[in-house]
Amino acid sequence: MPRKYETMFVIKPDLEQEKTAQLIDKFKGIIEDNNGEILEIDEWGKRRLAYEIEKIKEGYYVVVKFMAESSVAQELDRVFKITDDIMRHIVIRED
């Protein structure tokens, strides 16, 4: 049964726009390829981090709301963890 999820991820700010767009498309593809439905993508752009991560003071924030099975959320989490250009991420289920 599909559920509503929201994920936020922070991309390293020094990437080229094209590379950033490719990363966002990669995660959109994971959702859509596994029969998920993207409800909204909100690119916040570069923002200052609350605290430095590996001496980096800002990041490129992206929020994606989607409907999918729990296996899709688990796969997204797995891929976020192994993608070097992702500084932080979180996937939450909305009620």
pLDDT digits (tens, 9 = 90+) for 42-75: 999 999 999 999 899 999 999 999 999 999 999 9
pLDDT given at position 32: 95
Q: Please name the residue that has the structure tokens 């439905």.
A: 37
Q: Tokens for 60, please give them.
A: 């490129």
Q: Is 42 exposed, middle or buried (0-12, 13-18, 19+ CB in 10 A)?
A: exposed
**CA 46/CA 52 separation, integer angstroms:** 14
Residue 35, sorted as left (phi over 0), alpha (psi -120 to 50) or beta, turns out to be left
Q: Give the tokens for residue 24.
A: 């966002």
Q: Is the per-residue pLDDT at 95 higher than 90?
A: no
Confidence at 26, pLDDT banded by 50, 70, 90: very high
User: In terms of residue numbers, what domain contains 36?
Assistant: 3-93
Q: Which two tokens stand for residue 18?
A: 């094209």
CA distance 24 to 67: 17
CATH number where 76 lies: 3.30.70.60
Name the domain count of the chain.
1
